[in-house]
C-alpha cells in the first residue's frame, strides 16, 4: 500500500502473540484501544486507503472496524498479520467486512529459522493457510520480510516459497537487527544480503511484483549497492516536504560530507555496519530516456536533486505556477492558454495562438505565454489575470506534483528542468508542461440546455476544427512521457476515434508517472470500452449526469439515456478493481433551476454505486437555468441545501461533505458580496 497522499495508518494498541527477537513493540503499540476499535469509538482519518496496524489483526473481533472503514468510502483496506497462533478462518469474516489486502510478516520459510526468530511461536502451516486463504478470497498480499543477519542470505527463498501459494502484489524488505540481552542492537554488515536481495528484485521484475525497502534505517546505496531497482524501492524517500530539515543522527561516515545524497539520507549506522568504508554517491547517475529500473545510487542522487530544488522553490515561489506547468486548448478556436480558471482579462485570450495553426510546442512558448510568465515573475499578474481568480485567494490547483517523485528517467529530467525554470523565472521553456487539457471532439451525442458547445460547433467557421486532427493526436502522444495529467474533455471525447487511440497509447506499463483524467457523459462507456480501458493509465473518470431521474435527464439533455448511463457506471464500478492504478470515478452534477431538487437523490445514487460526486455551479445564462446570478434564486438554493443536503451528507464519506461545504461557501460568498456576475 502507498502510504502517502490519500493513505492513512490506523494503529490499534494490541499486543503480539509472537516473541520475535528483532521486534521492539511486541508487547503493544501506540494507538486506539482494541475495545474502542471494535466498538467504533475512534475518529476515522479521511482517506481512500487504510492500513490497520497492530500486533496481529487476524481476529474476527475487528470485522466491525473494517466494515466501518469500508462504509466511509475506502477503496483499499489492508491489515497487518503474522504467522503466529491465530484463527485463519477470521480472514473470511474480515474480507466479507470489506478487507482488500493483508501485509503478512514472514521472517523465513524455513521451519527451524522461523521458530528461532519468533520465539518458537511462528508456524509455517499458519503462513500457508493465510496465503492460500488470501488467494481464494482475492485479497492483495504484501509480503513483509524482516531482514537481519540470520536470514539475510535466504530472502529470495522465502519469497519464492510464499509465491507458490499466493503471488504477492509487493515484497517489502525491512532491515532490522536482533537485540542483545542488554537491549542494544547487534550490528551486522548488510553486504551479506546483496546477492539474495538482487535475486529477489529479479523475481519481482519478472513477475510484475512491486519491490520496496523500508522501516527503520534502510541501507543507503553506499553500503548496499543494487542494480536495476524500481524507482520507488526506497519508499521513505518519496514525497519529502519541500522545506524543513530532516531529523537525523550525525552522519556516520567520512564519505557523508561529500555525498550527493546527503540532503535525503537519514542513515546513522545504528544497526548496520559495513565491512568496508563507503564511497560518496556522485551525480550524473541517469539512464536511458524510458528507463524505469535504475541503479540504487541513481535513485538517491536524483531524489536529492529534487529535494534541493523544492527547497529553493519554496523560497522563490511565484504567485501562480500555471504558466510554467499547464497548457489548455479545447475550444473551437483552439486557443492555447495556461489554465482552466478562465479568469483572464478581456483581450488576453485574443492574443493567444491557436493549436490549429501551430504545434503544441510552439503554443507552449507563444508570446502570450511568455508574457504571462513574465508578469507572474515580477508579481504583477493582473495585466492578464482578473483579481478574482481563485488562485490569488488560496484556491485553484495545488502543487501536489511537486512531492510525487518520478518513476521514469525521462519524466525526472523534464521535472528537474521545469523546477529550475520556475525558480529562475524563465519565460521561454525547454521543459514540457506537466498538465495538458484537450478536447478530441467538440461534438456531442446530447444537447444539454446549459452547454455552449452545440452553438459553437453549429456556428464554427471551419467545421474541421471541431475535431482534433491526426497531427494533433500525434503531438499529444509525443508529449505523454512528460505529462503528470492528460485531461481529456469535450464536447463528448468518446465520439472521436482518436480518443481510443490516446487511451491505448497511455499504457499503465509504460507511462508510470502520469495518467489520464477523462470527462464523459457516459453514454458510450459500454462494456467493450471499459474492457479496453483496463490497460490505460486512468487517474479519474468524471461522468456528467446532471440529473437523478429519467425525466429530468431527458429535459436537460434532450436524450432518453439516463438508465443507460447509470447501467454503464455500474459496469465500470464492477470492473474498476481490475484497473491499475485504481481510477477515481465521479458523478458530476451541474446545478440548475430544473434539477436542484434532485441533488439529494444524486448523492444517494453515487453512494449506492460507490462513486464520488462533483457539485458544480452553472456557468453562463444559457436556457435561463442559472441559480447563481440572482439573489432570490441563490437564496432559495442555499436554503434547500441547508435543509435537505447538509443533514444527508453528515454521516457520509469525506468527498460528499467537502463538495457540499464548497458549494455552500460559494453561495454564501456571492450573497455576502452581492456578486451575481458570471463565473
DSSP state of 264: T
Q: Are 125 and 87 in contact (CB under 8 A)?
A: no
The H or E element that residue 548 is part of is: none
Please give the grid coordinates belonging to residue 663.
458549494
DSSP state of 28: -
Query: How far is 411 from 238, CA to CA, in rounded Å?
Result: 15
Identify the bridge partners of residue 11 per DSSP, sorted by sequence position: 53
| SS3 readout for 323-343 | HHHEEEECCCCCECECCCCCC
CB neighbours of residue 111 within 10 Å = 12
| SS3 readout for 635-672 | HHHHHHHHHHHHHHHCCCCHHHHHHHHHHHHHHHHHHH
At 87 the pLDDT is: 85
* pLDDT single digits (tens) 65-101: 999 998 888 889 999 999 987 788 899 999 999 999 9
At 88 the pLDDT is: 85
Please enumerate in sequence order all residues whose Cβ is within 8 A of that of 671, keeping only pairs 6 or more positions apart, or say none: 631, 634, 635, 638
Rounded mean pLDDT of the chain?
A: 87
Q: Which residues, given as ranges, of the chain have pLDDT below 70?
A: 1-5, 24-29, 183, 215-216, 236-250, 284-292, 340-343, 388, 390, 393-404, 678-679
At 4 the pLDDT is: 42
At 510 the pLDDT is: 82
At 240 the pLDDT is: 44
At 486 the pLDDT is: 95
At 317 the pLDDT is: 83
CA angle in degrees (0–180, nearest 5) for 305-308-312: 140
* Inter-helix orientation angle 90-97/63-71, to 10°: 20
* pLDDT single digits (tens) 612-624: 999 998 877 777 8
Query: How far is 565 from 604, CA to CA, in rounded Å?
Result: 16
At 399 the pLDDT is: 59
* pLDDT single digits (tens) 336-373: 988 865 667 778 888 899 999 999 999 999 999 999 99
Q: Are 440 and 467 in contact (CB under 8 A)?
A: yes
Burial group, residue 459, by CB count within 10 angstroms (0-12, 13-18, 19+): exposed
Percent of the chain with pLDDT over 90: 54
At 509 the pLDDT is: 77
At 619 the pLDDT is: 73
At 465 the pLDDT is: 83
CB neighbours of residue 216 within 10 Å = 17
* pLDDT single digits (tens) 35-67: 998 888 888 888 888 999 888 889 899 999 999
At 266 the pLDDT is: 82
Identify the bridge partners of residue 173 per DSSP, sorted by sequence position: 145, 213
At 398 the pLDDT is: 55
Beta strands, E only, 36-113: 49-53, 76-82, 101-105
* Distance from the Cα of residue 210 to its chain's centroid: 16
Residue ranges and CATH numbers for the domains of the chain are 7-216 (3.20.20.70), 220-229+239-315 (no CATH)
At 93 the pLDDT is: 95
Amino acid at each position: 500500500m502507498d502510504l502517502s497522499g490519500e493513505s492513512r495508518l490506523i494503529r490499534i494498541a494490541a499486543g503480539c502473540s509472537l516473541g520475535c527477537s528483532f521486534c521492539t513493540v511486541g508487547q503493544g503499540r501506540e494507538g486506539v484501544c482494541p475495545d474502542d476499535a471494535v466498538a467504533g469509538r475512534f475518529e476515522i482519518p479521511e482517506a481512500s486507503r487504510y492500513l490497520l496496524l497492530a500486533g496481529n489483526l487476524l481476529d474476527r473481533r475487528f470485522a466491525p472496524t473494517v466494515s466501518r472503514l469500508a462504509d466511509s468510502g475506502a477503496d483499499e483496506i489492508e491489515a497487518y498479520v503474522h504467522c503466529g497462533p491465530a484463527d485463519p478462518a477470521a480472514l473470511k469474516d474480515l474480507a466479507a467486512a470489506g478487507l482488500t489486502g493483508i501485509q503478512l510478516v514472514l521472517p523465513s520459510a524455513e521451519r527451524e529459522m522461523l521458530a528461532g526468530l519468533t520465539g518458537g511461536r511462528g508456524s509455517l502451516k499458519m503462513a500457508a493457510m493465510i496465503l492460500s486463504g488470501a488467494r481464494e478470497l482475492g485479497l492483495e498480499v504484501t509480503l513483509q520480510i524482516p531482514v537481519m543477519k540470520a536470514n539475510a542470505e535466504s530472502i529470495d527463498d522465502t519469497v519464492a516459497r510464499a509465491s507458490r501459494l499466493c503471488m504477492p502484489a509487493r515484497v517489502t524488505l525491512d532491515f532490522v537487527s536482533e537485540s542483545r540481552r542488554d537491549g542494544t542492537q547487534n550490528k551486522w554488515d548488510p553486504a551479506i544480503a546483496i546477492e539474495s536481495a538482487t535475486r529477489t528484485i529479479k523475481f519481482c521484475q519478472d513477475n510484475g511484483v512491486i519491490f520496496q525497502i523500508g522501516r527503520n534505517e534502510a541501507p543507503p546505496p553506499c553500503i548496499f549497492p543494487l542494480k536495476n531497482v524500481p524507482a520507488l524501492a526506497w519508499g521513505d524517500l518519496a514525497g519529502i516536504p519541500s522545506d524543513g530539515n530532516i531529523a537525523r543522527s550525525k552522519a556516520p561516515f567520512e564519505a557523508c560530507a561529500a555525498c550527493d545524497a546527503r540532503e535525503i539520507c537519514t542513515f546513522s549506522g545504528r544497526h548496520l555496519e559495513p565491512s568496508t568504508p563507503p564511497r560518496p554517491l556522485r551525480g550524473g547517475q541517469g539512464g536511458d530516456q524510458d528507463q524505469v529500473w535504475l541503479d540504487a545510487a541513481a535513485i538517491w542522487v536524483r531524489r536529492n536533486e529534487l529535494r534541493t530544488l523544492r527547497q529553493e522553490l519554496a523560497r522563490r515561489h511565484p504567485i501562480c505556477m500555471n504558466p510554467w506547468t499547464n497548457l489548455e486548448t479545447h475550444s473551437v478556436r483552439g486557443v492555447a492558454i495556461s489554465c482552466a480558471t478562465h479568469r483572464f482579462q478581456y483581450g488576453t485570450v485574443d492574443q493567444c495562438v491557436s493549436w490549429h495553426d501551430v504545434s503544441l510546442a510552439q503554443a507552449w512558448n507563444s508570446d502570450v505565454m511568455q508574457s504571462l510568465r513574465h508578469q507572474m515573475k515580477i508579481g504583477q499578474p493582473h495585466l492578464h489575470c482578473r483579481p478574482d481568480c481563485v488562485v490569488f485567494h488560496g484556491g485553484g490547483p495545488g502543487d501536489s506534483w511537486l512531492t510525487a517523485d518520478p518513476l521514469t528517467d525521462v519524466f525526472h529530467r523534464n521535472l528537474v528542468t521545469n523546477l529550475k525554470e520556475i525558480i529562475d523565472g524563465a519565460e521561454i521553456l525547454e521543459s514540457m508542461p506537466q498538465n495538458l487539457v484537450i478536447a478530441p471532439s467538440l461534438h456531442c451525442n446530447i444537447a444539454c440546455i446549459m452547454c455552449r458547445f452545440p452553438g459553437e460547433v453549429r456556428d464554427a467557421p471551419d467545421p474541421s476544427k471541431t475535431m482534433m486532427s491526426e497531427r494533433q493526436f500525434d503531438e499529444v502522444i509525443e508529449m505523454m512521457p512528460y505529462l503528470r495529467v492528460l485531461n481529456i474533455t469535450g464536447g463528448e471525447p468518446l465520439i472521436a476515434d482518436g480518443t481510443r487511440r490516446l487511451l491505448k497509447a497511455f499504457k499503465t506499463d509504460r507511462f508510470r508517472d502520469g495518467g489520464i483524467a477523462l470527462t464523459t457523459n457516459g453514454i458510450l462507456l459500454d462494456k467493450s470500452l471499459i474492457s479496453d480501458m483496463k490497460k490505460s493509465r486512468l487517474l479519474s473518470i468524471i461522468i456528467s449526469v446532471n440529473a437523478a431521474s429519467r425525466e429530468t435527464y431527458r429535459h436537460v439533455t434532450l436524450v432518453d439515456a439516463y438508465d443507460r448511463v447509470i447501467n454503464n457506471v455500474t459496469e465500470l464500478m464492477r470492473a474498476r478493481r481490475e484497473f491499475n492504478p485504481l481510477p477515481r470515478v465521479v458523478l458530476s452534477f451541474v446545478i440548475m433551476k430544473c434539477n436542484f431538487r434532485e441533488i439529494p437523490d444524486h448523492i444517494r445514487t453515487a453512494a449506492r454505486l460507490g462513486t464520488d460526486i462533483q457539485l458544480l455551479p452553472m456557468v453562463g445564462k444559457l436556457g435561463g437555468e442559472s441559480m447563481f446570478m440572482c439573489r432570490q434564486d441563490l437564496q432559495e438554493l442555499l436554503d434547500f441545501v441547508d435543509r435537505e443536503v447538509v443533514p444527508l451528507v453528515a454521516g457520509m464519506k469525506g468527498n460528499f461533505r467537502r463538495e457540499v461545504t464548497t458549494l455552500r461557501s460559494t453561495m454564501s460568498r456571492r450573497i455576502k458580496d452581492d456578486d451575481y456576475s458570471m463565473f
